[in-house]
Structures are given as C-alpha cells and as structure tokens.
C-alpha cells in the first residue's frame, strides 16, 4: 500500500508532440520498517537523524543510491524531470518552529551500481552533483505521511543510477526544538552516513536500511 513506501519522486513528463505536461508519481520501496531513528546499522536510514528533544546529535549526512533497475521498475525513464522528492514519516515527531536548521539535498546521475563503503568524504560524494534543495529553516509538522521537498529547479534523470546525498545541521537550534524521536519508513538497503554531536565531513557509518 502507498502508506508504507519509503521514497516518492514526483516526475514531470513532457512530450515534444503536445504542448502539455503531466505529473506522475514514482514510488520506490515497500516501507517494510518504520522504526525510530537509532545510531545503528538497522536504525539509521536517513534522510535526517534526530532522536528527540534532549539529543545533542545535531549533525547528520546520508548518501544513498537508487539503481537503474529500481528506477525503471518505478516508471522512471531517461529524460524525465524530477520536481519533488518525498519521504514518508511514520510518527508524529516534529520540529518546533521557529528553528534555524540547515537541510540540503544533492542529486547526481551515476553509473554506480552500489554505494561506496565508508569512510567517504562528503565533498567527494557530491562532486558533480546538483544541489536541488536547500533550506536554512527546515521544519517538520507533527503530521504523519509524505513529507515533500520541492526542488529549486527540475532535475533531469538521464539514465543509470541516481545518487542522493543529504546534509542536516541543527546546531544553531540546539536541544528542545524536536518533540520526539523521528521514524521514517525504510527498507533493507546499503547507505553510508555520519550522525554525531560533532560536525564531520566524513561519512563513516555503513548502514543496512534506506529511507
């Protein structure tokens, strides 16, 4: 069912034969796990890491890959434009406004078939990628369900795999702005991450789940 899916891509499908465009949703994953964030291989699947109001883990970076077969099976074909990315939140955890929180998303067309093993440098991972979303006051409501991120400009999927990298920094907001431990629907899958109370550009964790 749609409610249990991990990630959703909103595609703009254009036609050179007709002066119209249509939007379609491409859904990847089955959302088989909805557990809350934890600093372990099966609890940290991205796209951000936050375990509640008293946590001092202010920083997280995640790097994941969606393979060509996954994308094609979901109906994503070369030439399509990605307008929005959504992850499905499984609980009522929220970020209290106002809060100074940085959240970035990079996308990159890729020939890779798997995520490189940790450790990896963030600057290397986003080399050649496009910053498609950036916010300095990222907040989340208590609503469960799809959380949409509208891209600053449509991203052209050219074929192959798709690398996605996120960066979350709530150090200026500090403790007390989060109401609970966040839970995201996720599935088995390899990603790498950095989650900690100190900032680092090195993603040093190998994870076995992907939001």
Take residue 169 and report the two structure tokens written for it: 């920094």
CA distance 11 to 15: 13
CA distance 211 to 202: 20
Take residue 19 and report the two structure tokens written for it: 């002066």
Mean pLDDT over residues 151-169, rounded? 96
CA distance 208 to 38: 12
pTM of the model: 0.92
Q: Are 141 and 60 in contact (CB under 8 A)?
A: no
Asked whether the predicted pLDDT for residue 91 surpasses 90, the reply is yes
In this prediction, residue 26 carries a pLDDT of 87
Asked whether the predicted pLDDT for residue 45 surpasses 80, the reply is yes
């Amino acid at each position: 069912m749609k409610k249990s899916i991990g990630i959703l891509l909103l595609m703009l499908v254009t036609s050179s034969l007709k002066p119209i465009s249509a939007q379609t949703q491409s859904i990847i994953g089955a959302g088989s796990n909805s557990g809350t964030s934890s600093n372990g291989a099966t609890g940290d699947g991205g796209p951000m890491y936050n375990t509640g109001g008293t946590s001092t883990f202010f920083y997280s970076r995640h790097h994941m890959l969606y393979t060509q077969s996954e994308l094609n099976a979901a109906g994503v074909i070369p030439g399509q434009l990605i307008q929005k990315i959504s992850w499905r939140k499984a609980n009522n955890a929220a970020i209290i406004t106002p809060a100074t929180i940085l959240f970035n998303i990079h996308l990159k067309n890729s020939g890779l078939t798997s995520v490189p093993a940790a450790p990896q440098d963030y600057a290397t991972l986003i080399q050649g990628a496009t910053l498609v979303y950036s916010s300095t006051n990222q907040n989340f409501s208590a609503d469960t369900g799809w959380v949409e991120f509208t891209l600053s400009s449509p991203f052209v999927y050219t074929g192959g795999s798709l690398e996605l990298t996120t960066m979350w920094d709530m150090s200026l907001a500090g403790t007390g702005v989060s109401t609970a431990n966040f839970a995201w629907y996720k599935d088995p899958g390899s990603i790498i991450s950095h989650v900690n109370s100190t900032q680092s550009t090195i993603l040093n964790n190998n994870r076995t789940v992907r939001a």
